[in-house]
Amino acid sequence: MNRKILFFLIAVFTSLQAFAQTDLIEIKNDEQKLKERNLKGISATVYGDADYVWRQWKDFVKSKWEEKGKLKKNVFHVEKTTIEQITNHQGDLFTSFTPQDGEHPQGKLFVSFAVGHEICLTEEKFPEDYAKMKKLFREFVNDNWTDALTKTKEQQEDRLKGIERKIKQHDKKILALKKEVRKSKKAIKKTDDSREEFDYQNQIKVAEEAIETNKAQRDRLEERLKHDEQILLEVEDKLKAIQAR
Question: According to the model, what pLDDT value does residue 104 have?
Answer: 65
CA atoms within 13 A on the CB side of 185: 9
| pLDDT (average), residues 99-119 | 85
Of 125, 150, 175, the position where a domain reaches its end is: 150
Count the domains in the chain: 2
Same domain, 157 and 129: no
Residue 23 has pLDDT above 80, yes or no: no
Same domain, 112 and 210: no
Q: How many CB atoms lie within 10 A of CB 234?
A: 15
Same domain, 45 and 118: yes
Question: According to the model, what pLDDT value does residue 66 have?
Answer: 76
Of 150, 167, 188, the position where a domain reaches its end is: 150
Same domain, 132 and 209: no
Residue 231 has pLDDT above 80, yes or no: yes
Q: pLDDT tens digits, residue range 117-176? A: 779 999 999 999 999 999 999 999 999 989 888 988 999 999 999 999 999 999 999 999
Of the candidates 229, 82, 52, which has an alpha carbon nearest to the alpha carbon of residue 147? Answer: 52
Mean pLDDT of the residues in the chain: 87
Domain that holds residue 175: 152-243
